Amino acid sequence: MRVAIGGSSGLLGKALARHLSAGGHDVVRLVRGEPSASDQRSWDPDAGRIAGPGLDDVDAVVNLAGAPIAGARWTAARKADILRSRTGSTLTIVTSLHPDGRCQRLLNGSAIGYYGDTGIEIVDERSPNGRGFLASVVADWEAAAAHSPVPTAFLRTGHVLAQEGGFLAMQRPLFAAGLGGKVGDGRQFVSWISLADHVRAMAWLLTAELTGPVNLVAPNPVTNAAFTRAFGSHLNRPTLLPMPLPLVRLAFTREFVDDALLSSTRVRPACLLDAGFTFTHPKLGQAFAALGDR
């Protein structure tokens, strides 16, 4: 199989490219600017362009492109970039596909932020769209992907656990210094997935018949307090100090804290489980153990 990957320089894109290449598949990495390797192809999502031959020579596309949610203050400009980077890249891809072309599969990025804050309620792919900035971003993101002329799955991704990057990257220095702690009262649910399982799920979905939303989370979400204890244990560090939310609100805005940190989303990967996908790391302790060296 020949697979094009948008967002190929990110955590998920790089891991998927390695996994597919190791399995004997050909990978075309869509990159901004001039290609520097034979497996790269230039694209400009802002202008809606992909260099020739576009997507005419691939069997499938996985689009993971999008500006990071965290790492910068949620100004109006930043929020606009978060949305535009997702919908723009998605529309660039779907308008480059043809119903009778070689490419007959699209996996498009999405997120469990779609559900908003659901408290202790267990949600799955049948649950409605929630409220808040992230929920509205994901709704627009998926609406853009819905224009695809080929069978398409929306990858509603949870917090990805990896040794480098992902959900743990910004927290690791604090936790390693013994300054990590729960967020708020710690009762909000965290739906997570190991990097290995996320990549395996994407590769599996490339040849599956599932379309529409697919939750890419492990089947055992935990509270933030439980996650905090597990991460501290993995690093052999105490987790006694709660996150100083007033300082985080000053740095990243109250909206970011409420929407991205305090929101509780207890997600079940119903589509994957019902279709027979098996997780290598279904429990949090297994996922941390798989991270290896501390």
pLDDT at 293: 54
pLDDT tens digit string along 231-271? 999 999 999 989 989 988 998 899 999 999 999 999 999 99
pLDDT at 294: 47
Instruction: Count the domains in the chain.
Output: 1
Q: Using only C-alpha atoms, what is the Rg of the chain?
A: 19
CA distance 82 to 243: 25
Range of the domain at 172: 2-290
pTM: 0.96
Q: What is the CATH number of the domain that holds 84?
A: 3.40.50.720
Nearest Cα to Cα of residue 82 among 256, 232, 208: 256
Question: 293 by DSSP, 3-state: which?
Answer: coil
pLDDT at 170: 83
Buried/exposed 101-137: b ≥16 CB within 10 Å, e otherwise = eebebbbbbbbbbbbbbbeeeebbbebeebebbbbbb
CA distance 67 to 291: 25
Which element (helix H / strand E) includes 43? Answer: strand 40-44
Strands 212-216 and 152-157: what pairing?
parallel
Q: Which residues of the chain have pLDDT under 70?
A: 293-294
CA distance 168 to 227: 11
> 138 and 147 in contact (C-beta within 8 Å)?
no
CA distances from 220 to 43, 191, 282 (A): 38, 8, 6
pLDDT at 264: 97
Start-to-end CA distance of the chain, whole Å, equals: 36
